[in-house]
Amino acid sequence: MNAPNGRTVLFGSRLSPFVEKVVRALHLKGIGYQLVEPQSPWDFKRWNPQTGKMPVLEIAGAREYDSTFILRRLDALVPTPPLYAESDPHAAAHQRFVEDWSDESLYWYGMALRWTDANAAATAQQVAATLPVPSLVLPLVGRVLRWQIGSQARAQGLVRLPLDRLLDELGRRMDELLVWLGGGPFLFADRPGAADLAVMAQLRMLQSGPTPQGAELIALRPRLAAYAARVDAATQA
């Protein structure tokens, strides 16, 4: 396949499931890239004046933001392998639906679990450790992050649920994923697509360390764990 002309730069941190989603799409497409991680909170607005969020991808001489828009752009530039089963409109519609569901619903279950009282300190420590700040001020940075990012999860509302209720609801979402997966290797296709990248990125966030309860929910569902491992293997560089 032919990679796009010019340098490809991805702005963001792989702690973000949306950045991870784009990373895996680039790997799947065989596109080499440079990852530029944030050095300060002001980087986000500088990279993406529209929303102030990551990821942002600079490719073929232009910048694109939002992981869904980025994946569509990648499919237009490098059509093979496709991220959406456009030859099967029914399957493609399901892929787009689950991609959006993962980004807009499943994500907030993960965020709520990360910033619930039981996990907030470990989550803040994980995020703070990625920033280029002296070790002496890491505890202060962690407290700021806990207030700043945690407030977004509180505003959304799921983090206000009791932990056992939150875990029960998250488990139900995982069971729904297994229904959509059925007996196939990937969601609605025989190869990984945008829906798989979106879902795998959210599951990876739950398995990243600060949320042992989420990792346990996945482990209790061997078919889901095997699916996540299958997408991971198919999209590694």
Domain at 9-77, CATH homologous superfamily = Glutaredoxin (3.40.30.10)
Q: Give residue-wise pLDDT tens across range 29-67.
A: 999 999 998 776 667 677 776 776 789 999 988 999 999
What stretches of the chain show up as alpha helix (H) in DSSP? 17-29, 42-47, 67-77, 89-101, 107-115, 120-128, 138-156, 163-181, 194-206, 212-219, 222-235
Question: Class of 89-235 per CATH?
Answer: mainly alpha
Q: Where in the chain is the domain with CATH 1.20.1050.10?
A: 89-235
CB 67 within 8 A of CB 22: yes
Q: Give residue-wise pLDDT tens across range 178-213.
A: 999 999 999 999 999 999 999 999 999 999 999 999
Torsion-angle region of 157 (φ positive above 0: left; ψ -120 to 50: alpha; else: beta): left
In whole numbers, what is the pLDDT of the chain averaged over residues? Answer: 88
Among residues 150, 198, 205, 147, which one has the least CA distance to residue 15? 205
Q: Where in the chain is the domain with CATH 3.40.30.10?
A: 9-77
Q: Give residue-wise pLDDT tens across range 107-155.
A: 999 999 999 989 988 998 888 777 766 555 556 555 666 666 667 777 7
Q: Token digits for 140? A: 């202060």
Q: Token digits for 165? A: 């209720």
